[in-house]
Chain A
């Protein structure tokens, strides 16, 4: 691990690390922009009623899943190293969530 290799004083963080953090922040800003665009598309599709409702619902679900992926992988750093266990935990949760939805769908629409 790279921790505690930095010998500079408190206020004087490693210049390399600062630069790396800055690049990371730029990526975060780009993902924020993309998330805003996805949101705009979703609202515009519904507000204008341009697309038939049969196609709108899968499209909306698709846009939501992409936006959530950005949130998880960029904002919550799941793309970074050392996130194997969080990935297992959250996908485990998603799996159980899908089972819950399937069960509810079964008892409502059988």
Chain B
């Protein structure tokens, strides 16, 4: 399996992302990483829940958050999760061009999400004076939501790098695991966002 010729096969196996030892290792390694990320985000969520009422006289979560923007961001990220499923569907059908197209759409949706998040943060800072340093609530909020945003930023850079690096190479057993690893990571970002919009925004509105 690890011979060079098997990386550019005449025939593609049914699961090109797991056909090589390298691919299997990447697959397990990423899931191991996601298990660790779960713990990391749990500690950020726990910190946020403990500190969210310590506003130091600043605006509370009920006054700050608007549901409309968060809803649009949620739909953007959830749709980008679906488009990366489409990309992996085309990968399994060995259709490189369509895979690249759907990955491109995924990246654009991710950029849209990030743009809205930056707008949201700048709105809080300029309109409310709500910053990382203004209260314990502010620190916990920007640490948690910003860390998620950082993951989105990293994911966008990752996929753009993969798309450019492999643009002329086409799909083979060398890069199929790379695309698959990225798509799992991207889904995981959406998993985290489900908890962010639930715990931070929706529960923050309820009080």
Report A's interface with B, CB cutoff 8 A. 2-4, 6-11, 13-14, 17-18, 21, 24-25, 28-29, 32, 35-36, 39, 42-43, 46-47, 53, 56-57, 60-61, 63-64, 67-68, 71-72, 75-76, 82, 85-86, 89-90, 92-94, 96-98, 100-101, 103-105, 108
Residues of chain B within 8 A (CB-CB) of A17 are 14
* Shortest distance from the beta carbon of B107 to any chain A beta carbon, whole Å: 17
Q: Judge whether B206 and A71 touch: CB under 8 Å.
A: no
Q: Which 9 A-B pairs have the closest CB atoms?
A: A93-B35, A97-B42, A104-B46, A93-B38, A3-B13, A86-B31, A108-B50, A64-B198, A89-B35
Q: Which residue of A lies closest to B46 (CB)?
A: A104
**Size of the chain B interface, CB-CB below 8 angstroms:** 55
Q: B45 interface residue, CB < 8 Å from A? A: yes
Q: B122 interface residue, CB < 8 Å from A? A: no
Q: Which residue of A lies closest to B37 (CB)?
A: A93
**Main SS at interface, chain A:** helix
Q: Judge whether B75 and A10 touch: CB under 8 Å.
A: no
Q: Judge whether A24 and B89 touch: CB under 8 Å.
A: yes
Q: Which residue of A lies closest to B28 (CB)?
A: A85
Q: Judge whether B38 and A68 touch: CB under 8 Å.
A: no
| Cα(A9)–Cα(B11), bound, Å | 5
**Cross-interface CB contact of B198 among A24, A63, A93, A98, cutoff 8 Å:** A63
Q: Judge whether A90 and B38 touch: CB under 8 Å.
A: yes
- A8-B11, A90-B35 in contact; A75/B203 too (CB < 8 A)? no
